Amino acid sequence: MESAEKEEISVEDEAVDKSIFKDCSKIAFYRRQKQLLSKKSTYQALLDSVTIGKDSARFQIINEPAKVPLLAEVCGIEGNIFRLKINEEIPLKPRYEVPDVLTSKLTTVRLTSCPGDTGSLVLASGKGDLKCHIMANPFKVDLVSEEEVVMSINSLGQLYFEQLQIPPKQRTTKKNEEDASTDTTQENQEELGLWEEKFENFVDVKVNGPASIGLDFSLHGFEHLYGIPQHAESHQLKNTSDGDAYRLYNLDVYGYKIHDKMGIYGSVPYLLAHKLGRTLGIFWLNASETLVEIKTEPAVKYTLTQMGPVAAKQKVGSRTDVHWMSESGIIDVFLLTGPTPSDVFKQYSYLTGTQAMPPLFSLGYHQCRWNYEDEQDVKAVDAGFDEHNIPYDVMWLDIEHTEGKRYFTWDKKRFPNPKRMQDLLRSKKRKLVVISDPHIKIDPNYSVYAKAKEQGFFVRNHEGGDFEGVCWPGLSSYLDFTNPKVREWYSSLFTFSVYQGSTDILYIWNDMNEPSVFKGPEQTMQKNAIHHGNWEHRELHNIYGFYQQMATTEGLIQRSKGKERPFVLTRSFFAGSQKYGAVWTGDNTAEWSYLKISIPMLLTLSVTGISFCGADVGGFIGDPEAELLVRWYQAGAYQPFFRGHATMKTKRREPWLFGEEHTRLIREAVRERYTLLPYWYSLFYSAHVASQPVMRPLWVEFPNELETFSVEDEYMLGSALLVHPVTEPKATVVDVFLPGSSEIWYDSKTFAHWKGACTVKIPVTLDSIPVFQRGGSVVPVKTTIGRSTGCMTDSPYGLRVALSTKLC
């Protein structure tokens, strides 16, 4: 396998070729929906079929040409949430419904039927201020709040539902083949990818045939949408055009292209829409490949608002249409009605959980590299931080620490005494994080592989054998984390008796868990691989990494018998991953543009529930110049997850290797992070118990100020600090927007102050980054800094008090 290893490591030499990934034109279900929706086939609701039960209202929907009924279900959920599910009434076999993401059995609110127009049904939730107006022909739903239609569903007639079919070879009759998805010539069937789909040298055979779904949502009065990570794109979602949809499909994209809508490592099928006076959310619970089209229709006319002199104009009559399309599964969508940003955050966390409360050490600085060479290297780097008086908390080891990329093992030559190494770190109250990927080297003498093989714990190929693919160890099989028994077994591997050489200061990093398969289609697993329950990989691709992080987190909790909080970082994620730890933005590049794009990427993760997020400081790929590295440390110190990382072919870049002056600047940035630890901890507590993001776009704190809606080069940490990282080389001045006409803002270093609702030109040198404290706030700090968080337990606290305008 050594030659395979060397061959595959070359994958990491330079930024990836985008041609190995699909664009929309190469995605069959997208082509089908775009082509067949143009035929204007319409669905109608059969309102004489309505039944209203304790938990929901149900009714049939039918598409006239096909005569095959769908079953729709509307639920009211506690906290001003509506849920709409649409499934086949009698499918040939069950369709996949995403398990394990929703927090628990949700509390439903009884729906009541109200008088409506002929051909419509009105369902009221709770006190009746929220209503669903269901129109029969064509089928359409209006979500009404206080007599205002805020959202319409299927108003563009893009409901699309491909029923499961008997494969052509098994059919004995052509009965019911009038359905649009099968009424095609052989040539057209191939073009539309009904039963098989070709991409490069790969053929995806679909035993169930076409099974895609789609639905449109019109948001009335909204022009600003956010969410649906992960993309290296702006915080505000952009209009799409045909063939340019946002793609949600977890992929290992090394050196990803920025300002691009292609899917990268994680997928959260959830977006927020915001306008003056209202915030909404749409959560599309589907784990298969998903595409999202967005089209904003701004109003032609303007009106004066009553929001004060700053927000003098607002477009009215505007509308944004959002079209969701998924390869398979059912339509299961949650409508979060706000009305405030804070309300929407709480509604979403009620569904998927809040950010896990992290252990304090994980809020410090993390030092990583692919790879620290051996125990002596670790010892020298650790000593370097002390010698240069730079605090840090966590040393990280990448894949080379293992014996031939066999996870849960140690390279006996490089790391002969891992416990001694951990004792050294422990003596300074520091921790160790090691990597554990989902691929398992095929080696009968490797105990993890042998036991998983014996128990049938691997994903299977479509022929029934273990799925095999190439990753870092060479030929590997992949653990089926969708199986609860596999997760339970995997969790047990972290016990000290099983994971030899591990101690209670060792924590875990889950990487390559999209899953990454070097020689697979788009460098991932074939869609017709088989998981627990006989589900195809296509049904659940985007949730695979979520399950690995879940199992890892549970393993660390069990290891301490529930006494210590776990820390687990994952590259691949889904809605609800916040319950299990932290996320980072993957294999970025040491360029100014990647520093700049990291801010909107992290803001998007933050508003979609994942507060514990960060970007590799310095850029993973390439060699940053000293100025860029300093600026990245200054930015990273004010972002939730703070880790320096670099790939193996880069020059060493520990903070003291760039000259005395740059060392001083990096030291100051890191020490300021440690000064603010009490504030960071309080923000994560607020995220954990009250669902409020740690890192916030300005529109969240200032929802009634239009000027904030598109800002993405600065952000709030909690409600007290405004941070504007410097992201341009040789900058001497930065334009900082200070929001809030009634606010006062203080420079955190000079204490100079400005009134809000203005843009200020702030002079900067390499030793300064614009940070402002909001008048009327109190920020808790540590007044002395130790070499790690654990060394600061008894350090005194201080309070930074900023007077409000009322007290000045």
Cβ atoms 681, 363 nearer than 8 A: yes
Say whether 5 sits in a helix, a strand or coil: helix
8 A C-beta contact, residue 290 and residue 249: yes
Which run of H or E residues covers position 401? Answer: none
Which residue, among 360, 374, 350, 377, has the nearest Cα to 107 in the 3D structure?
350
3-state secondary structure of 636: helix
Residues 73, 78, 79, 84: what is their CA dihedral angle, to the nearest 10 degrees? -10
Pairing of β 160-161 and β 111-114:
unpaired
Taking residue 807's Cβ as centre, other Cβ atoms within 10 Å add up to: 10
The percent helix, strand, coil of the chain (3-state, each to 5) is 25, 30, 45
Instruction: Say how far apart CA 507 and CA 99 lie, in whole Å.
Output: 27
Sequence letter at residue 729: P
DSSP state of 460: B
| DSSP state letter for 717 | E
Q: Which residue has the tokens 């979602």?
A: 237
Say if residue 324 is exposed, middle or buried (CB neighbours under 10 Å; 0-12, 13-18, 19+).
Answer: buried
Q: Which of 511, 705, 714, 743 is catalytic?
A: 511
The tokens 């140690």 sit on which residue? 410
User: Between β-strands 313-315 and 431-435, what pairing exists: parallel, antiparallel or unpaired?
Assistant: unpaired
DSSP three-state, residue 580: helix
DSSP letter assigned to residue 285 = -
β-pairing verdict for 196-199 and 202-205: antiparallel
Whether 514 sits among the annotated catalytic residues: the reply is yes
Taking only Cα atoms into account, the Rg of the chain, rounded to an integer number of angstroms, comes to 27
For residue 316, the SS3 value is: coil
The residue whose two tokens read 């020059």 is 651
DSSP for 414-467 reads: T-S-HHHHHHHHHHTT-EEEEE--SEEE--TTSHHHHHHHHHT-BPBPTTSSB-
Identity (one letter) of the amino acid at 70?
A: L
Identify whether 587 is a catalytic site residue: yes
Tokens of 660: 């005395």
Give the pair of three-digit tokens for residue 47: 């309102």
Count Cα neighbours of 622 within 13 Å in the Cβ-side half-sphere. 18
CA distance 25 to 34: 10
Alpha-carbon distance of 260 to 374, in angstroms, equals 38
Taking the C-alpha atoms of residue 667 and residue 673, their distance in angstroms, rounded to an integer, is 10
216 Rama class: left (phi>0) / alpha (psi -120 to 50) / beta: beta
Alpha-carbon dihedral 305, 308, 311, 312, rounded to 10 degrees: 60
Three-class secondary structure of residue 65 per DSSP = coil
The alpha carbon dihedral of 417, 421, 424, 425 has a sign of: negative
Task: Find the catalytic residue in 162, 216, 514, 714.
Answer: 514
Which one of 216, 375, 587, 654 is the catalytic residue?
A: 587
HSE-CB at 48 with a 13 A cutoff on CA atoms is 0
Residue 667, helix vs strand vs coil: helix
- Residue 39 is encoded by which pair of tokens? 């035929």
Residue 148: both structure tokens together: 């205002």
Residue 54, both tokens: 């304790």
Longest distance between any two alpha carbons in the chain, whole Å: 85
Whether the link from the prior residue into 339 is cis, omega within 30° of 0, is: yes
Helix (H) or strand (E) holding 89: none
Beta bridge partners of residue 799, listed in sequence order: 780
The full DSSP string for 666-716 is: HHHHHHHHHHTHHHHHHHHHHHHHH---SEE-HHHH-TT-GGGTT--S-EE
Catalytic residues: 511, 514, 587
